[in-house]
Each structure stands twice: as C-alpha cells, then as structure tokens.
Structure 1
C-alpha cells in the first residue's frame, strides 16, 4: 500500500518591505534606470509592486521616464539626423543618468522625486 505525501501548505501573501529596503529598492529603480534604461525599473516594479506602494510608485515614475527616453532614442536613430541625432541621444542619456542620481538621493532623504518631462503610461 502506498501513501501519498500531504499537500503543501498554501502560499502566504508576500511580506511587506522594511523601511530601509523600501528606500533601497525605490532609489535603485531611479539609479539603475538612469544607467540600464527601462529594464531595471520594470523588473523592480514587477517584483515589488505588491510589497510596497512606495516602491511601486517610484519605480513607475522611473519606468515612465525611461520609456519616454527609449522613444527619443529610437526616433533619433531612425530619422536621418546625423550628428544632431548623436547629440540628442547623448543629451537624453546624460539627463537620464543625472536625474537618476538626483532622484536616488531624494528617495534616500524621503523627499519627493520628479523628472523634467514625464508621461503616465504605466499606472
């Protein structure tokens, strides 16, 4: 006679993040967004959106800005702008990195974050 193992226990709800973890992940969504583009804030938003409303909000801000930057990169690459396209691409990258660093620091000080131009595609 064979015995079947008991069923596994039900999955528990994800645990909320501590205050330090919340600031860390919210800040990293801005900082890594400035360096790696839209992928870092997207992954952080998908992983932590149910564990911290603050991380979800900050990663959405970073993700929306990085998606806008991606569109500018694509337009600059597709249009025959030559040297002007290179300048636009470099300028957007610099703004992305600078505001990623600024917003990382603001999150660490629990201040409101902002980007110069933003859209609300991810809500």
Structure 2
C-alpha cells in the first residue's frame, strides 16, 4: 500500500473574509460619526447594520466602546480638574484634557483609515463595554 501525502491546506485557514466596498465604507463611517456625534452616531449605525456583516459589527462595537470610554475618561478627569481648581492645582490639568482630546481625535482618524483599508482595528485604551 502506497502512502498518500496529506492534502494541502490553505496558508491561513481562519483568515477573515475580505470586506466589500460597502462594508469598508460603513466601517469607516462608524469611526467618523464618533468624531462628529460622540457615541450616538456609532450606536445608531451599529444597531441598524450589526446583523448584516461581521466587519460592520466589529467596527461599530469598537467605535462605540471607544466613544463611551472617551466619555468616561473626560467625565472623570474633568470632575477631578473642576474640584482641584478650587485649590489652583486643577489649572495644571487643563492641558491634560486638551492632550486627551487630541489623542482621541488621532485614534478615531486611525480607526477610520484602517476601516477604509479593510483592516480589523482595535482602539488602545478602550474599555470593552460591548464585548
């Protein structure tokens, strides 16, 4: 009996499917709406389109989790800054709020461009409210 070689397996058997142009556009829109409307835009788009595509579901959840995390970070840091302003220490935290805002804008733009390229993007420092 001659041994047969095992069949050739694909190079990456669990590779995610390549997103369509519409999926990439809607994924990009999830991140872009986060810049313009906070968490409301990504929430609405994610709720409407999450069942149509795993790619849109992923980017919608990522954008929504990031916007909610950003809101929480700004609320906590803003509250601490407000309380410490009575002791003049809070004035030193105002630049930190500005830097946090700039980092949030940069991260949203990175997510937007990654979604447009068809990549699966995860925000650093984002709390996973929706797993």
Normalised by the length of structure 2, the TM-score is 0.71
Query: Gaps (5+ residues) in structure 2?
Result: 1-18, 85-89
Structure 2 Cα separation of the partners of residues 112 and 53 of structure 1: 10
User: After TM superposition, what 4+ stretches of structure 1 lie above 6 angstroms from structure 2?
Assistant: none
CA 1:87–1:36 in 2, change beyond 3 Å: closer, same or farther?
farther
Query: Gaps (5+ residues) in structure 1?
Result: 1-17
Contact 1:35 1:97 in 2 (8 A): no
Correspondence 1:102 to 2:110: yes
Aligned residues: 106
Higher alpha-carbon Rg: 2
Normalised by the length of structure 1, the TM-score is 0.75
Cα root mean square deviation, aligned? 1.8
User: Residue 58 of structure 1: CA displacement?
Assistant: 0.7
Q: Secondary structure at the match of 1:120?
A: coil
